[in-house]
Structure formats: C-alpha cells, structure tokens
Structure 1
Amino acid sequence: MFDLILRGGTVVNADGPARADVAIAAGKVAALMPPGEGAPARLEIRVDGLHLLPGLVDAHVHLREPGLTHKEDFASGSLAAAAGGVTTLLDMPTDEPWTAAAADLEAKIRSAQGRIHVDVGFQVALRRDLADVAALRRLDPVSFELFTADVPEPFLHATMDDVVQALRVMAPLDVLVGISPGDQSILAGETARGLDLPRDAAAFCRSRPPLAEAAGISRALLAASQTGARIHVRQTSSALGIRTWQRLRDIADASIETTPQCLLFATDAYDRFGASLKASPPLRDREDVANLREALRSGAIDIVATDHAPHSPAEKAAAYPAFADIPGGIPGVQTLLAAMLHLVDAGELRLQDVVRVCSVNPAARFGLAGRKGAIRPGHDADILVLDPGATTMVRHADQLSKAGYTPFDGLEISWRLRTVFLRGRAIFDGGGPVAAASGRVVTACAPFLSLPGR
C-alpha cells in the first residue's frame, strides 16, 4: 500500500509534461501511474487541473549562519525557501567564520539539525594554502568554492597559477569546484583610478566590468582543461562573459549559472531600487540581459540560482560613503520560482525549462542525482503543486527572510503555488507552513554528472 497518491495532475519533468498519478511511499516517488489506475493508498489527494513540478534546487544560497544571524539563519532562510518552492538549497561558505575546515563544516551540520525546513547541502571554501582539503572531502560537501576576486586574502586565488595549483589538487578528489569568476587586477586598477570620481552605482559597475568576468571565466575553463578538474562557474551576468563561456566551454567539464536578478533587471534599476539591489556582480546593460535570456533559452546556461544573500533592513538603509560600501547581496530564495514563472508568462521559457535549470541540472551537477530534481521512481517526493488558473502577486509583506523585502515586489504571475511537499509530506501551503521543520542535511554521494551537451 502506498502512503499517498496525488491524482489527476500533470507531471512536469525536464523532458516535458505528462498526465500521471504520483504514488509515494516512505518519502520517495514509488510509481508514476496512468491516470485513474486503481491502487491502494492511505491517503489520496485530488490535484485535477494542477501541475506537479519537482521541488527546486537552489545551488547558491547564503544562510548567514554562523556569525551573521542578524541577517538570516538556518530557520528563517529555509522557511523562506519552503514558501517559494525550493525544497533543497545549497549553502555557501562565506559566514563568520568561513566554512573552510572540517571542524567548521561539522559545527554547521550540527547546528542545522532539527532547524531546517527544507533539505540543505553545504559548500566549503578553498583557502589559498589548501589547508584541510582531505578532511573536508571525507565529509562529502556538495562543492568546494574557489574565489578569484573581492574576498579576504586567505581565500583569494588571484592569479592563473593560484587557480591551476588549486585545481591540480582538487581534480583527483572527484569533487565539484565552484569558481566565482573575476579579475582582482582589474578591480584594483579601476578602484584606484576612480578615487577622485563620483562614487555612485556607475562607479561600482565600472570597478567590476564584464571584462573582469570574462577573464575569470576563461581562466577557470583553461585551468580546468589543463588539470582535469570538474568546475561550476558562478553568477555570469554579461554578454561578454556568456560569449566567452560559449567559445570555451567544450574544453573542460564545466557548467555555468546565472541569477534571476541578472535576467530581470538592468543597470537602470539602480535609479529606482538603489541599495536594495546592490550586489556583486553588478547589474548590466539591457543588451546583456537580452543575451543572458537567449543563452538561457538555448541551453547555454545550465543553472539558475539566486545568490540569496540577505542583510538586515537597517544595514541596507544606512548611509555609506560610496555605493560600493553598501553591503552586497539581496534576498531571493523565496522568489526564485516566481521569477522563473514570470519568464514563462513572457514566453521566454517553458515549464520544463524551469525544471531543467532549477531542479534537474543543479541536482545532477552537485552530486544529488537520483535523489533530487525530478518526479521519478526512487527520487525523494519533493513536489510542488502549481495552479495555472490563479494569479500571485509578489509582495514585501509575504517575505519570510530576515531581509523583509524583495526586489520583485509587485511582480504578478499567472500561477499560484498551492502546496509544497518534502519527501511526501506537506510542509507549506498557500496559508503558510503546515509542518514543523523536517529538512535534512544532504551530502554529495552520487556522481557529479556532466550536463547534456557537455
């Protein structure tokens, strides 16, 4: 006997929609059955006319714990994720202290237990001295993160030699290395030349130009090609960056992400939103946005992740000497689905494209294949019930992150998220959370798969 059957819905996987009844047992999808097929279950729920999507996997989230919990913590950030249909999130290591040693990761795992509302995988930082790598590897983090600009000195891999030496060590360990592309020399030069100029949003954009991103992407791909390391490129934001990626991507085992804000906002949004949209990389021109959307449609961009990085309202509202000094980062984990559905409404994507870039690809790339990212037998029954006959307005008032706002306030989509299931248990519905925190810490224990076309 099954525990639950969802009857009458349309299942949307990355290969397209199909009518099927979804049977669930022991927290897993047990079967996809023809509509109406008789089967015993302890509970049946009718989902006629509704779409069933696999829970989203947000591969780039800053939960701010430990050390920065006035901005966010495991409980608040994972609850926001559940409200937005993200059932697995992958937490970045840039907290206080940075997660760069086995003891740091073990402490994070202990602290998260019993407090997370969705499943969480942890990512760890690579120090330039590559300390504690072997001990970290034994804990199976979902990625090791390498930073090439704009970070504290112990974590700065500023040169090609730094990147190559790090990847040479990581390649035999059979892990995924996330690389945040940039060029510290360009950042330093632009900053020095701009000391006597206005220190506004335009100056911040000049200090981190598309050239720096493209240089970082090319360096990452060349280094991966030479070492055999498996890499994932973070946060592409520009036409030059994505063109560089398209020219070089076949030389290495690599994937790339962008963010909803890079797909929906251009630099003119700073005039309206100011500090609330300040993050790195900066917003780009409308031509860049158009190029990123085309790359997403064509499959050149593999993953959309939020870079959810909240700050307290007081921190964002304070006065700063320069735009660059404003704490960088915006909340996003609760609005990932809404932003992607906006692109569906606009005819830019199909529902199965959303599943591809927000569910199956991040699960496959970060070592969660076979467990996350699809509604298929054997996978965790992380399921979103989506109503195509109702609308949703994104509002500041509904945000559960400690940031208390969203740059997507006022965005209206022609869908409504009715229910969120985590391993077959309803955890959120239109009225709010319906279960206590039941998320688990997940580790990379499946192959880190190359993505289609690579």
Structure 2
Amino acid sequence: MFDLVLRGAAIVESSGTVCADLCVTDGRVAALLDPETPAAAKAVRRVDGCYLLPGLVDAHVHLRDPGLTHKEDFESGTRAAAAGGVTTLLDMPTDDPWTDSVGTFVDKQRLAHGRLHVDVGLQVALRRDASDLQAIRALGPVSFEIFTADVPAAYLHDTQALLMRALELVKPLDTLACVSPGDQSILNSVAKGGIDAFLASRPPLAEATGIAKIILAAAEARTPVHVRQTNSALGIATYRRMRGLADVSIETTPQCLLFTAGDYATQGADLKASPPARAPEDRDALLAALRDGMIDMVATDHAPHTRAEKAAVYESFADIPGGMPGVQTLLATMLHFVASGDIDLPALVRMCSTNPARRFGIGNRKGSLARGHDADILVLDPRLDTHIAHADQLSRAGYTPFDGMRVPGRLTAVYLRGMLMHEHGRTAAMEPAGKVIGASKHGLA
C-alpha cells in the first residue's frame, strides 16, 4: 500500500512531460502509474489539471547562520524556501565564522539540526592555508568554494598560481570546486564613489577574465569546476568559446536576467549586489544564453540584509551591504520566462532542479520525480497566477526586488519527502522536517 497517490496531473521532468499518477512510500517516489490505475493508498489527492515538478534546488544561498542571524537564519530562510517551492538549499560558507574547517562545519550541522523546513547541503570555503581537507570532505560538503576577488585575504585566490594550487588541492577530494569569477587588480584600481564607480570596479572585463582563468586552470588541473553567477555578454561569450576545454558548468540568477543598471534609479540599495546590474545588451545576451541552453543552472544568491542596513547612509555605493532575498521567488521569476516563451517547463526543471542536483552530488535523491528519488513535489496550477509582493515574503529581509510582478501559474502545494510542507500560501507542517544532506557523485551527465 502506498502512503500517498497524487492523481490527475502531468509530471514535468527535464526531459519532457508525461501524464501519470505519482505514488509515494516512505518519503520516496515509489511508482509512476498510468492515469487512474487502481492503487491502494493511505491517502489519495486529486490534482487534476496541475503540473507536478520536482522540488527546486537552489545552489547558491546565504542563510546567514551562524553569526549573522539578525539578517536571516536557518528557520526563517528555509521557511521562505518552502513557501516558494525550493525544497533543497545549498548554503554558502560566508557566515561568521566562515565554514572552513571540520570544527566550523560540525558546528553548522549542529545549529541546523531541528530548524530546517527544507533540506540543506553545506558548502565549505577553501582557505589559502587549507588543511585537513580529507577530513572535511568526509563530512559530506556539496562543494569547496574558491574566491578570486572581494573577500578577506585568508580566502583570496587572486593569482593564477593560487587558483591552480586551490584546484589541485580539491582534485583528490572527488568533489566540486566552485569559483566566483573576478579580478582583484581591477577592483583595487577604482576609487570608491557612486553607482558608476561601483560598476567600474566590477566590469564585464573582470568577469570574463575570471571565467577564462577558471576554465584554463580547471583544464590544467583536471578538476571539475562550477562558475558562480555570470551576467555579462563578454563573460558569456568567453564561457561559450572555452567551456569545451574543461569539466565546467555555469550559473546565473533571476535578478541578472531581469534587471539592468538603469533599475538602480528606482531600486537603489535594494538592488545592490555583486555582480552589479549591467547594460541592456548584457541582459539580452544572458537571456539568449538561457534560451539556447548555455546556462546550466539558475540559482538565487539569496543574501538578505535588514531593511535598516540597506536604508542606512554610506560614504559610497560599494559600502552598501550587497545582496538581496530570492529563495521564495525563484519559481515565480522563472515562470515569468516560461510565460515569455524564453523557456518551457522542462527547461525550468533542468536549470533549477535536475542540473544543480546532479552537479552538486545529490542527483541520486534530488532533482527528479523518478522512482527512488525523494518525493520533493511541487503542485503547480497553470489556471491561476502568482502576484509577488513585499507583504508575503517570509525572509527576514522583509522585501523582494520583484515586488509587483505577476506571472501565470501558482504553486498550490509543496511536499518534502512526501510530507506536505506548504499549501495554498500557508505553512502546513507543524514542525521543521528538513535535514542536512551530503554529496555523493558529482556531474551533469
């Protein structure tokens, strides 16, 4: 007997859509049956006319826990994720303290226990004086993060020699190295000032140079790498020409796909992040890469700050805390691109669920509704629409840069391992049911 059967929907995978009834047992997908096939079950739900999608996997999230919990914490960030259909978060290591050792990793696992509304994978920052990497790897991080600009000196790999050494250290760990592209020399050469100075300190050239260096180093080291968010025409062109040299993937974010530098006039500090919003032609090149499949995944870089922090007066635009909330709006913003015809639902699943799960070593459980995978299920009703509003946001940031956007399609239910977590805009689960999960095999194949 099945625990749950969802009847009457079309199941969306990265490969296409099929009409089937989805059966759940012990938190996993137990069977996909021909529609209306008799099946004994403890519970049967009709979801006629809806789509079932695998829960989204957001590969780039800052939950701010530990140390920065006035901005966000495990409970608030994962609650927001569940409300938006993101059932797995991959948490970045840039908290206080940074996650960079066995001790800080174990402490973060302990802090997360019993406070997660969705599943969370942890990522580790690679120090320049890295040690005990095999012991850290044994704990199950989903990646080692390497930074090439704009971070404290202990984590700064700002030369090709340092980057090569970092990738050589990661290679024997059989895991994924993620690198944020940039050029510290360009950043250092620009004096602080207004928005124009901020843009000049992080130009497309810095991003493209970073991407080229990453791919060349990955080719030489033979280490799988993932390039963190890109948003420039030059960066995408560089990646397009060079990606065949190495085992490499790339991401972007909804804000990079939707905003340009002109939006600073209305959004101001709320939109301040790195990389900065760029020219319309950069955004157009990114959209073209989204359409033709060059973008491997779309993540959010969810990095909330309080309203007071964003609204304070700073000497320069660069000093404004960088980042914005995003986990609750990932699905809705991607549905905008489905409605515009830039992508279809299978492409949404590919970039926001299947590819990140596979690339970060959790594809044996996440990113698909195939038999044996975790029953992380989104019920999407195409007959309704979604209106994104500040008032509905559950992140401690209390706002969204996408306020006012209306898109076709509405998320009506979210299941995590077969448990109903969110339904019709309200939290359904009484207690947090998420877990810290670890990586196994990495790759996009």
User: Which TM-score band (shorter chain)?
Assistant: over 0.9
CA deviations 1:347-376 (Å, max 9, x no partner) are 111011100000000000000012000111
CA deviations 1:83-121 (Å, max 9, x no partner) are 000000000000000000110000000110110000000
Which of residues 291, 294, 297 in structure 2 aligns to 1:303? 297
Find the counterpart in structure 1 of residue 74 from structure 2. Answer: 74
Find the counterpart in structure 1 of residue 312 from structure 2. Answer: 318
Find the counterpart in structure 1 of residue 285 from structure 2. Answer: 291
Amino acid at match of 2:332: A
Give the CA deviation at 1:138.
1.2
Per the normalisation by structure 2, the TM-score is 0.99
Q: Distance in 2 between matches of 1:333 and 1:315?
A: 20
Find the counterpart in structure 2 of residue 441 from structure 1. Answer: 436
Q: Distance in 1 between matches of 2:65 and 2:168?
A: 30
Segments of structure 1 that go 5 or more residues without pairing to the other structure are none
Give the CA deviation at 1:431.
3.3
Amino acid at match of 2:22: V
Amino acid at match of 2:55: G
Q: Distance in 2 between matches of 1:135 and 1:320?
A: 42
Which of residues 363, 380, 398 in structure 2 aligns to 1:386? 380
Give the CA deviation at 1:130.
1.6
Give the CA deviation at 1:172.
1.6
Q: Distance in 1 between matches of 2:141 and 2:149?
A: 23
The answer on whether the counterparts of 1:183 and 1:215 sit within 8 Å (CA) in structure 2 is yes
Per the normalisation by structure 1, the TM-score is 0.97
Greater shift in the superposed pair: 423-432 or 357-366: 423-432
Find the counterpart in structure 1 of residue 84 from structure 2. Answer: 84
Which of residues 392, 396, 411 in structure 2 aligns to 1:398? 392
Find the counterpart in structure 2 of residue 278 from structure 1. Answer: 272
Give the CA deviation at 1:432.
1.1
Which of residues 233, 236, 240 in structure 2 aligns to 1:242? 236
Amino acid at match of 1:46: R
Give the CA deviation at 1:450.
3.1
CA deviations 1:322-347 (Å, max 9, x no partner) are 11100000000100001100111111
Secondary structure in 2 aligned to 1:4? strand
CA deviations 1:288-323 (Å, max 9, x no partner) are 111111111111110000000000110001000111
User: Where does 1:329-408 land on structure 2 (aligned, <5 Å)?
Assistant: 329-408=323-402
**Runs of 4 or more above 2 Å deviation:** none
Secondary structure in 2 aligned to 1:300? coil
Amino acid at match of 2:268: G
Secondary structure in 1 aligned to 2:150? coil
Give the CA deviation at 1:209.
0.3
The answer on whether the counterparts of 1:158 and 1:183 sit within 8 Å (CA) in structure 2 is yes
Give the CA deviation at 1:134.
2.0
Which of residues 212, 221, 224 in structure 2 aligns to 1:227? 221
Amino acid at match of 1:133: L
Find the counterpart in structure 1 of residue 56 from structure 2. Answer: 56
User: Where does 1:97-136 land on structure 2 (aligned, <5 Å)?
Assistant: 97-136=97-136
Q: Distance in 2 between matches of 1:125 and 1:351?
A: 33
Q: Distance in 1 between matches of 2:229 and 2:304?
A: 16
1:424 aligns with 2:418: yes
Q: Distance in 1 between matches of 2:300 and 2:232?
A: 16
The answer on whether the counterparts of 2:83 and 2:425 sit within 8 Å (CA) in structure 1 is no
Secondary structure in 2 aligned to 1:179? strand
Which of residues 197, 203, 220 in structure 2 aligns to 1:209? 203
Which of residues 266, 270, 276 in structure 1 aligns to 2:260? 266
Q: Distance in 1 between matches of 2:51 and 2:444?
A: 28
The answer on whether the counterparts of 1:387 and 1:418 sit within 8 Å (CA) in structure 2 is yes
Q: Distance in 2 between matches of 1:124 and 1:170?
A: 11
Secondary structure in 1 aligned to 2:93? coil
Find the counterpart in structure 2 of residue 252 from structure 1. Answer: 246
The answer on whether the counterparts of 1:92 and 1:122 sit within 8 Å (CA) in structure 2 is yes
Q: Distance in 1 between matches of 2:292 and 2:273?
A: 26
Secondary structure in 1 aligned to 2:421? strand
The answer on whether the counterparts of 1:254 and 1:450 sit within 8 Å (CA) in structure 2 is no
Amino acid at match of 2:437: V
The answer on whether the counterparts of 2:80 and 2:395 sit within 8 Å (CA) in structure 1 is yes
Q: Distance in 2 between matches of 1:371 and 1:297?
A: 27
Q: Distance in 1 between matches of 2:146 and 2:377?
A: 32
User: Where does 1:15-26 land on structure 2 (aligned, <5 Å)?
Assistant: 15-26=15-26
Amino acid at match of 2:303: A
Give the CA deviation at 1:132.
2.8
- Percent same amino acid among aligned pairs? 59
Q: Distance in 1 between matches of 2:200 and 2:76?
A: 34
Q: Distance in 2 between matches of 1:54 and 1:368?
A: 13
Find the counterpart in structure 1 of residue 96 from structure 2. Answer: 96
The answer on whether the counterparts of 1:331 and 1:405 sit within 8 Å (CA) in structure 2 is yes
Amino acid at match of 1:335: T
Give the CA deviation at 1:430.
1.5
User: Where does 1:25-36 land on structure 2 (aligned, <5 Å)?
Assistant: 25-36=25-36
Q: Distance in 2 between matches of 1:17 and 1:450?
A: 20
Secondary structure in 2 aligned to 1:427? strand
The answer on whether the counterparts of 2:3 and 2:25 sit within 8 Å (CA) in structure 1 is yes
Find the counterpart in structure 2 of residue 164 from structure 1. Answer: 164
Q: Distance in 2 between matches of 1:341 and 1:431?
A: 17
Amino acid at match of 2:390: H
User: Where does 1:173-192 land on structure 2 (aligned, <5 Å)?
Assistant: 173-189=173-189, 191=190
Q: Distance in 2 between matches of 1:392 and 1:57?
A: 20
Q: Distance in 2 between matches of 1:299 and 1:178?
A: 20
Task: Supply the RMSD in Å over aligned alpha carbons.
Answer: 0.7
Give the CA deviation at 1:276.
0.2
